[in-house]
A and B are shown apart, each in its own frame.
Chain A
Amino acid sequence: MRELRIHGRGGQGSVTAAELIAVAAFEGGVFAQAFPAFGVERRGAPVQAFVRLDNKKIRLRSQVYEPDYIIVQDSTLIKDVNVFMGVKKGGIVIVNTEKKPDYVIPEGVKLITIDATSIALKAIGLPITNTSLMGAFAAATGEIQFFALEKALNHRFPKELASKNIAAARIAFDIVKGAA
């Protein structure tokens, strides 16, 4: 079983990202589970969302404590929340930032930084970073295929919004693929 933990702030679409990654993974024939951990339900409050992927039915219902993958939608969370807690050796952490990291990543963990905010502003016209980060996740982990992500986005959003989000995801996907 592989596990993903997404850290964001209320309103950034972390829960939607978890759901769409699960939908895309299911499209690829994997059993997927996505669920949120709400704190106070307010914009700006730290939020976590989780995804589990496995080749068999997933029964486990606890939150994710030892993730294989972590997505951080907002790098300002890093000083408030221990976003890297429990990440597995060999794991991958994707952080939305335009800056060089001024924080320590656990040993044996791969850090990918991507300026998802700029990508989203360019492609969508709004600083909604979740879809760019989904593209980065697909490229970095290979857990979901890009076409499956595209399908999930098309299913969730009206046509025009879906195309903008797919464009954002594609830019991030290509950047991460190119860097690999």
Chain B
Amino acid sequence: MMEITEGSHAVAEAVRLCRPQVVSAYPITPQTHIVEALADFVANGQLDAEYITVENELSALSACVGASAAGSRTYSATTSQGLMLMAEVVFNAAGMRLPIIMSIANRALGAPLSIWNDMQDSISLRDSGWLQFYAEDNQEATDLHLLAFKVAEDNSIQLPAFVCFDGFILSHTYEPVDMLTQEDVDKYLPKFNPAERLDAADPISFGMYATPEYYLEFRYEMDQAQKRAKDVIAKAGKEFGEMFGRDYSALIEGYRLEDADTAIVAMGSICGTVKDAIDEMRTAGMKVGLLKIRVFRPFPAEEIAKMLSHVKRVAVLDKNISLGAKGATAMEVRDALYGSAIPVKGYVLGLGGRDVRKRDIKEIVAFSEKGPNDQFYGLRKELI
């Protein structure tokens, strides 16, 4: 049923319907509304889960690790500094192959302190082994949680996942969302039944010491699971489409890209603004299209190379910067197109909540034809 609600509440409701058995999280702007809502659900009896209150994010994810290893469906949510405080456990959760789902209301990292949106937080943990989904709107932010649980808990994957959506821009936005029912979700998402779990009657260990004779193979297995996730996402995304009418089988999506000369590549809520800008540019006779990345880990390199094979140029938008190098998406798109003659230019923009307008997208398209290579877009020169 279509309802108008805040992004955070839509996400909290979706998580409730997924029936997590253990939730542990620590409030942090702009994620707070999600965990407040979940705490309410548990207190009201609307969610039969253990809500573990903790003193910080490091403890929150540590509690999730224990719960997940014991065989519980486990959920957390955080952003920005909170995610950085978790970082050690983020890597451990993936290495222990624990399918914890965590919402990230994307926010910039300090210093300087910023509560506003960019994607530096989750992108900075791209090497951790977690699957990474990025939502364009609150419908996707909601739906991707179901998909994430289904894929992460698949016994051929067993990796945790971030479901990322832009802080404030989506988390605090009221807009209509088609909310699924408990019956729908129960049909889609089976009970969590891990291949291995902690059991006092049949003791095993998670996160063992791996000597140099073993460690490399552990990492290889994780990488293989990431790669297998492409097919599992395709299958689970198709099933979602068959059941609810929204197909998430593709890791990337094209918008007016079939005959485009210029392709913009982007992730997250900015894709909506890009689509509106593209419609206006198309009306003006410009052949511009969008390639939206919905899944950043596993990275859909082959799919991107195929979808961009006909374009004359690519402009990649990054709300993150690997300082001293470039935006993460630009690097990986260029890597995906290695061997082709298609020029890829990267634009770092929107950091720390700097607003991105349609006219910015149009200017970037113009720059991609004749401007300099990789650059920060929209710098206030008077401040430098």
Contact = CB atoms under 8 A, between A and B. Distances in A.
Interface of A: 15, 18-19, 22-23, 26, 31-36, 38, 41, 58-63, 65
A60 B276 contact: yes
Nearest to A36: B172
Contact of B272 (A22, A23, A59): A59
Interface string B265-308: 00001111101100000000000000000000000000000000
A61 B273 CA distance: 6
Most chain A C-beta atoms within 10 Å of own C-beta, residue among B166, B176, B275, B358: B176
Nearest to B173: A35
B140 to A, nearest CB: 12
Contact of B174 (A32, A59, A61, A65): A32
Contacts of A18: 174
A31 B3 CA distance: 11
Nearest to A60: B276
A19 B357 contact: no
Interface string B1-33: 000101000000000000000000000010000
Contacts of B137: 59
B273 A62 contact: yes
B6 A19 contact: yes
A62 B176 contact: no
B235 to A, nearest CB: 27
Interface in B107-133: 115
B357 A62 contact: yes
Q: Which 9 A-B pairs have the closest CB atoms?
A: A59-B272, A26-B4, A35-B173, A34-B174, A62-B357, A33-B175, A61-B269, A22-B174, A61-B273
Nearest to B356: A62
B282 to A, nearest CB: 14
A35 B172 contact: yes
Contacts of B169: 35, 61
Nearest to B137: A59
9 contacts: A19-B174, A22-B4, A31-B175, A34-B174, A35-B169, A35-B173, A36-B172, A58-B272, A59-B276
Contacts of A41: 29, 115
Interface in B316-334: none
A32 B4 CA distance: 8
A19 B175 CA distance: 9
| Residue with the greatest number of chain B CB neighbours at <10 A, chosen from A31, A38, A61 | A61
Contacts of A60: 272-273, 276, 358
Contacts of A63: 355
A113 B308 CA distance: 54
Contacts of B6: 19
- Which interface residue of B166, B168, B172 has the most chain A CB atoms within 10 A? B172
A36 B7 CA distance: 12
B358 A38 contact: no
Contacts of B29: 41
Contacts of B273: 59-62
Looking at B115, B168, B175, B355, which has the most chain A CB atoms within 10 Å of its CB? Answer: B175
Given A32-B4, A35-B168, A38-B168, A62 B175 contact: no
A178 B168 CA distance: 38
